[in-house]
Structure 1
């Protein structure tokens, strides 16, 4: 029995999600490295200003810690007074909307993209919505299509791939509701 192998040289490319000229994509990659991801750049205000300059919709009082990454700032919305922790990676090939007063803790990854793994590995994207007052604790993974309700707490190391109700504690090891948050 032979297993099918997809020829990745023929897979539709990542540029499908760019929706900006190649020059803007490359410029953003350089600016992100210098001003956003750079651990020596300690100013959250400068990080936020650079993200806004490239189209991110970021409310007042938002804190972006060092070593964060944002794939496409023009596909990012962050509500007032939210905190984005050190090492957070927002791989947003589709829209990511983070509510107000929300915390995304260290090393969490939010990704909107996947691939047509049975067909041709073409890029598939779905938006992510994270509610107001929600706390994604350390090292969570949030995948495309996830909708996390208001005032929800997601426990460390949890993978969120669907809809999570408001006002609950949700988490690993079995990715289920553990009880009310408050």
Structure 2
């Protein structure tokens, strides 16, 4: 793969997450009955960062959970090459029944990962609403899914790939676009 450009650097990611935090607070008229749930792997770290920004703004903490969608994917056999999938499990600190769940992921592309996240959440309870926050929306939806909160829209061709790197996993904060 050939890197074409860095579309978000560390400061731009920080600004995007601050904007998302403000939008979550505004749309939900505060954070009462809200919970952030990050999709493994990078969605978890983004959810934790958004939670920290919300705490700075509101002075209150918002619960943060993580969800593993491995067994909910519709492309499981393609992704695992017929090996047993490695499931890390989900960890949600509060019951989600009647809560406003904000599902957090790094990139929204076809919508299939989000659909798997929705299925996994519904197996855990019945939230009052589920909202979606993503750092990058790159288009090319295959399912009728859209994000409620978007850090940056990055129109791409299907020949391109968006790579999100976060300090917690990759030792750098940046979003890049690559030729496939």
**Is TM more than 0.5 here?**
no
Could you say which structure has the higher helix fraction? 2
**Structure index of larger Rg:** 1
After TM superposition, the score normalised by the length of structure 2 is: 0.26
After TM superposition, the score normalised by the length of structure 1 is: 0.26
User: Which structure has the higher relative contact order (CA within 8 Å, separation 6+)?
Assistant: 2
